[in-house]
């Protein structure tokens, strides 16, 4: 049995480089061995590498699985009958989705870790919560997606949940005004997807020339910048607008993968994402997968102690990023901090065979 | 002339999203009679086209365009014609040849066209929608030629066009063609074949294929010009991101273990050096290769990866799976397997297999190997470095025979 409880007691951003390494390395080794023993697919994959999982592998040499594999194969390391929940990634129609298999233990530590990380921002008390989305995403099973899952996951930190968009994504101004009035002097929690907040909250306030005073609110948002980058919106602009129209200064973006649900990376006041003690980030050079230096961009590898029921504890993403530093961010959080630069571009492969429905293997 | 009126109204309907790339029209094309194969006019025209291509300043930057210019020379055409010197049958173009060419091999459409033209057909060629500089250059040369000379015999029989994949042009052109040439692999063939062709018309299809290499280790060790072989192998593979149907995916090493060990070491390191210098990988290439490799490994096949960097992945197989052709890679992703007898490869050869690229074997020995085995696959046995050279026999088809009609007079 892997002793995961110990690390879960530690505050998310409280360990420096050496202390973190000391606790994380043996744990990740143990988890790798667990998956090697209990997932035939994982064992077959690792067998083809020149690495011996003897329990003493430096963290940089722990094998990593490209995230696409979770779309291609059912990967799990527990008895099938112990799987209580299967998460799937968002994906447009026709695209393969990642399938993540959770048993009771992994599901529970996901929640525990998410709580640790989020309460480092919101405090441990549940707050009145405003969701910048429509409740149709939750109610309508056909629409249920990563967005719905995200809302449900974060709703455990809120009370008096209010959805401020209708099912056509119109801003319910009355509802918003009522909520603001009611919780005037309280800390509140606003959650939503980056693009939804931009398009349906900020832009609507701008269009209707509405201003609110939500100075005691904290916003947590995620889901990526892809759509906003295409509209040329930068982090700073996003934050400036929230300040101007809603008087909100505490704005936290988060980065995370469905393959490592629970271990999210929160963006601090300095606009840096931070790796908590339960997870780690390594940036690798595209040329040979060697570890990049700080301030050198490359492919993001993510390590997390959470995935026990499936071999997602060390994954190679298709995102490009850069580690800015470690233990010395001005925000005071310890650990590595980094920036996301975007998705790796698909290779344009020459060849005789046209790719109509872009194959994935 | 009722027939052509019908055509015109039909054309108005479909023509809206067509882009025509040379000075000609569909009406021209549909009123021309076919030519006999290797028509003198055609040979002269191609020779002039070759000269126009050589006049381009930028041609040196595009080896594929350069090769095409050489292919079009009169001397080459005469040589190709001479193959049929003893053939007394009368061969005439089938009529209208509709070419659907691959979107990601820049010059392929031109070879398809030339094969159609020297067979005597009127040619409707769908050019890749993707932009390639060498394709633009080709049309610069072609349009210069059509403007300055009077080869109306040819230009009236030629139409290059681009149209959107969803256009109903494919449907229309299919319905009137005498032969349809479909490049672009299995999925393209499936899609194009949803459009009917007339009862007597035929399809010539270029499906997804698998190619491999055999290297004689001992001969290789003794070979003096190892770098030229590396360049040859590079041209067979990396030049098309190792994704052409002719690109070897698998390398068989023939010989005794000691030689093989040594040969592999030299071969791959010589190649690697050249690749790093000449090839550009994208940031996601390594991720793609790792994903492919792990996918392959989930099947539990005994193998180890030899990894220097993401320019070149080698996967050494301990056993040879029968379905190894299912695990295709690209951009420098090679399986390898040691043999001491050519017959060890027999079990895997299926209809999928196209090119055997060899080094260090007598042609007669390979001839014997092919003749002894009644394989369902392998259409081409070609020296390493020459696999992508276009020939009128391609993918197992004699294109002249397929694109012409034989007239019998008794």
Tell me if B294 and A45 make a contact (CB, 8 A cut-off). yes
Tell me if A353 and B299 make a contact (CB, 8 A cut-off). no
CATH code assigned to B210-383: 3.40.309.10
Tell me if A48 and B206 make a contact (CB, 8 A cut-off). no
- pLDDT value, residue A29: 97
Token pair of B87 as six digits: 């053939």
pLDDT tens figures, A44-91: 999 989 899 999 999 999 999 999 999 999 999 999 999 998 888 765
> Helix, strand, or coil here: A105?
helix
β-pair partners for B252: B214, B337
Nearest chain A Cα to B243, which residue? A351
Confidence of residue A143 (pLDDT cuts 50, 70, 90): low
Q: Which of A345, A351, A354 faces B241 most closely, judged by CB atoms?
A: A351
CATH code assigned to A5-343: 3.40.50.12780
Nearest chain A Cα to B188, which residue? A354
Tell me if A357 and B292 make a contact (CB, 8 A cut-off). no
* CB proximity A122 to B under 8 Å: no
Confidence of residue B64 (pLDDT cuts 50, 70, 90): confident
Distance from CA of A22 to the nearest CA of B (A): 29
* pTM: predicted TM-score of the whole model, two decimal places: 0.90
Token pair of A161 as six digits: 């949940």
Q: Which of B103, B282, B298 faces A345 most closely, judged by CB atoms?
A: B282
Tell me if B283 and A73 make a contact (CB, 8 A cut-off). no
Weakest mean pLDDT among A135-144, A291-300, A321-330? A135-144
> How far is the C-alpha of B392 from the C-alpha of A271, rounded, in Å?
61
Q: What is the mean pLDDT of residues B39-56?
A: 96
> How far is the C-alpha of B392 from the C-alpha of B410, rounded, in Å?
29
Q: What is the mean pLDDT of residues A90-116?
A: 84
Residue count of chain B, please give it: 410
Weakest mean pLDDT among A203-217, B66-80, B259-273? A203-217
Tell me if A72 and B311 make a contact (CB, 8 A cut-off). no
β-pair partners for A350: none
The label of the residue with tokens 């009529």 reads: B95
The label of the residue with tokens 């360049």 reads: B231
- The CA-based angle B11-B14-B16, given to 5 degrees, is 105
> How far is the C-alpha of A150 from the C-alpha of A131, rounded, in Å?
11
Tell me if B187 and A346 make a contact (CB, 8 A cut-off). no
Token pair of A20 as six digits: 């973190």
Q: Answer whether B23's CB lies under 8 Å from B147's CB.
A: yes
> How far is the C-alpha of B180 from the C-alpha of B106, rounded, in Å?
20
Tell me if B105 and A50 make a contact (CB, 8 A cut-off). no
Confidence of residue B16 (pLDDT cuts 50, 70, 90): low
Q: Which residues contact A301 (CB under 8 A, 6 or more apart)?
A: A64, A281, A282, A283, A284, A314, A315, A316, A317
Write down the domain spans for chain B. 2-206+395-407, 210-383
Strands (E), B8-149: 18-20, 90-93, 96-100, 122-126
> Helix, strand, or coil here: A72?
helix
For the cut 90, the answer to whether the pLDDT of residue B7 exceeds it is no
Chain B contacts in chain A segment 278-337 (CB below 8 A)? 286-289, 299, 316, 318, 320
Tell me if B286 and A357 make a contact (CB, 8 A cut-off). no
CA nearest to B264, candidates B361, B359, B330, B383? B359
The label of the residue with tokens 């799990």 reads: A76
Q: What is the mean pLDDT of chain B?
A: 92
Distance from CA of B376 to the nearest CA of A (A): 21
Q: Answer whether A311's CB lies under 8 Å from A35's CB.
A: yes
Q: Which of B187, B282, B297 faces A354 most closely, judged by CB atoms?
A: B187
Q: Which of A41, A318, A353 faces B284 most closely, judged by CB atoms?
A: A318
Q: Answer whether A37's CB lies under 8 Å from A286's CB.
A: no
For the cut 80, the answer to whether the pLDDT of residue A338 exceeds it is yes
For the cut 50, the answer to whether the pLDDT of residue A357 exceeds it is no
Helix, strand, coil share of chain B (percent; to 5):
45, 20, 35
Q: Answer whether B388's CB lies under 8 Å from A351's CB.
A: no
**Residues in chain A closer than 8 A to B307 (CB atoms):** 50
Confidence of residue B14 (pLDDT cuts 50, 70, 90): low
**Residues in chain A closer than 8 A to B292 (CB atoms):** 361
For the cut 60, the answer to whether the pLDDT of residue B6 exceeds it is no
**Residues in chain A closer than 8 A to B300 (CB atoms):** 40, 44
Q: What is the ipTM of this complex?
A: 0.92
* CB proximity A361 to B under 8 Å: yes
pLDDT tens figures, B195-221: 999 999 999 999 999 999 999 999 999
Q: Answer whether A280's CB lies under 8 Å from A262's CB.
A: no
A349, A351, A359: which to substitute to probe chain B, counting the most B Cβ within 10 Å? A351
Which helix or strand (DSSP H or E) is residue B313 part of?
A: strand B312-317
CATH class of B2-206+395-407: alpha beta
* CB proximity A358 to B under 8 Å: no
Which helix or strand (DSSP H or E) is residue A102 part of?
A: strand A99-103
Tell me if B287 and A345 make a contact (CB, 8 A cut-off). no
Higher pLDDT pick, B165 / B54: B54
**Residues in chain B closer than 8 A to A49 (CB atoms):** 305
Q: Which of B244, B284, B294 faces A65 most closely, judged by CB atoms?
A: B294
Token pair of B12 as six digits: 């108005």
Tell me if B244 and A65 make a contact (CB, 8 A cut-off). no
**Residues in chain A closer than 8 A to B309 (CB atoms):** 287-288
CA nearest to B304, candidates A65, A52, A48, A46? A48
Q: Answer whether A258's CB lies under 8 Å from A153's CB.
A: no
Count of pairs with CB atoms under 8 A, one residue in A, one in B: 138
């Amino acid at each position: 049995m892997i002793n995961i409880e110990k690390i879960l007691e530690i505050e998310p951003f409280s360990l420096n480089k050496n202390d973190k390494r000391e606790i994380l390395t043996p744990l990740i080794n143990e988890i790798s061995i667990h998956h090697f023993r209990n997932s035939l697919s994982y064992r077959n994959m690792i067998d083809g590498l020149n690495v011996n999982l003897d329990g003493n592998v430096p963290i940089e040499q722990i094998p990593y699985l490209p995230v696409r594999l979770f779309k291609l194969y059912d990967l799990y390391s527990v008895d099938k009958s112990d799987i209580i929940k299967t998460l799937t990634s968002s994906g447009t129609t026709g695209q393969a989705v990642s399938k993540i298999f959770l048993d009771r233990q992994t599901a529970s530590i996901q929640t525990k870790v998410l709580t640790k990380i989020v309460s480092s921002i919101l405090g441990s008390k549940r707050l009145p919560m405003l969701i910048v989305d429509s409740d149709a995403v939750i109610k309508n099973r056909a629409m249920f997606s990563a967005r719905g899952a995200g809302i449900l996951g974060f709703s455990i930190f809120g009370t008096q949940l209010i959805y401020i968009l209708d099912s056509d994504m119109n801003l319910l101004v009355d509802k918003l005004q009522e909520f603001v009035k009611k919780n005037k002097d309280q800390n509140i929690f606003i959650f939503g997807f980056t693009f939804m907040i931009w398009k349906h909250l900020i832009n609507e306030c701008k269009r209707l020339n509405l201003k609110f005073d939500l100075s005691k609110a904290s916003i947590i948002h995620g889901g990526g910048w892809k759509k906003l980058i295409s509209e040329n919106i930068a982090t700073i602009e996003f934050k400036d607008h929230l300040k101007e129209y809603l008087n909100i200064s505490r704005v936290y973006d988060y980065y995370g993968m469905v393959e490592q649900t629970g271990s999210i990376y929160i963006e601090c006041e300095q606009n840096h994402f931070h790796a908590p003690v339960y997870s780690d980030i390594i940036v690798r050079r595209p040329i040979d997968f060697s570890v990049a230096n700080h301030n050198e961009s490359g492919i993001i590898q993510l390590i997390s102690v959470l995935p026990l029921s499936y071999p997602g504890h060390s994954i190679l993403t298709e995102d490009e990023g850069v580690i800015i530093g470690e233990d010395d961010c001005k925000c005071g959080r310890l650990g590595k901090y980094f920036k996301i630069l975007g998705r790796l571009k698909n290779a344009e492969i020459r060849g005789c065979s046209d790719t109509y429905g872009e194959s994935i293997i | 002339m009722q027939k052509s009126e019908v055509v015109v109204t039909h054309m108005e309907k479909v023509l809206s999203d067509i882009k025509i790339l040379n000075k000609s029209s569909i009406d021209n094309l549909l009123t021309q009679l076919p030519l006999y194969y290797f028509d003198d006019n055609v040979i002269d025209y191609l020779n002039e086209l070759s000269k126009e291509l050589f006049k381009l300043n930028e041609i040196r930057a595009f080896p594929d365009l350069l090769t095409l210019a050489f292919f079009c020379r009169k001397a080459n055409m005469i040589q190709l014609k001479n193959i049929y010197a003893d053939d007394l049958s009368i061969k005439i173009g089938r009529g209208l040849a509709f070419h659907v060419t691959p979107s990601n091999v820049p010059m392929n459409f031109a070879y398809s066209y030339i094969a159609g033209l020297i067979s005597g057909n009127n040619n409707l060629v769908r050019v890749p929608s993707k932009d390639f500089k060498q394709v633009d250059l080709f049309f610069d040369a072609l349009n210069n030629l059509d403007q300055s000379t009077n080869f109306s015999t040819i230009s009236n029989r030629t139409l290059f066009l681009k149209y959107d994949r969803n256009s109903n042009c494919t449907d229309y052109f299919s319905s009137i063609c005498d032969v349809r040439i479909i490049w672009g692999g299995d999925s393209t063939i499936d899609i194009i074949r949803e459009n009917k062709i007339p009862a007597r018309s035929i399809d010539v299809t270029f499906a997804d294929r698998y190619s491999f290499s055999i290297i004689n280790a001992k001969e290789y060790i003794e070979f003096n010009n190892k770098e030229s072989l590396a360049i040859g192998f590079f041209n067979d593979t990396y030049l098309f991101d190792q994704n052409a149907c002719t690109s070897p995916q698998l390398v068989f090493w023939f010989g005794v273990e000691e030689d093989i060990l040594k040969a592999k070491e030299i071969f791959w390191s010589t190649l690697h050096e050249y690749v790093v210098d000449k090839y550009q990988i994208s940031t996601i290439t390594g991720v793609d290769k790792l994903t492919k490799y792990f996918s392959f490994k989930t099947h539990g096949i005994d193998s180890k990866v030899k990894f220097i960097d993401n320019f070149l992945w080698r996967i050494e197989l301990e056993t040879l799976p029968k379905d190894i052709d299912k695990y295709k890679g690209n951009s420098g992703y090679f399986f390898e397997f040691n043999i001491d007898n050519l017959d060890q490869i027999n079990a895997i050869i299926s209809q999928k297999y196209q090119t055997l690229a060899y080094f260090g074997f007598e042609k007669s020995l390979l001839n014997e190997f092919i003749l002894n085995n009644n394989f369902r696959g392998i259409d081409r046995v070609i020296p390493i470095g020459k696999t992508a050279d276009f020939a009128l026999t391609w993918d197992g088809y004699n294109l002249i025979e397929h694109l012409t009609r034989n007239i019998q007079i008794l």
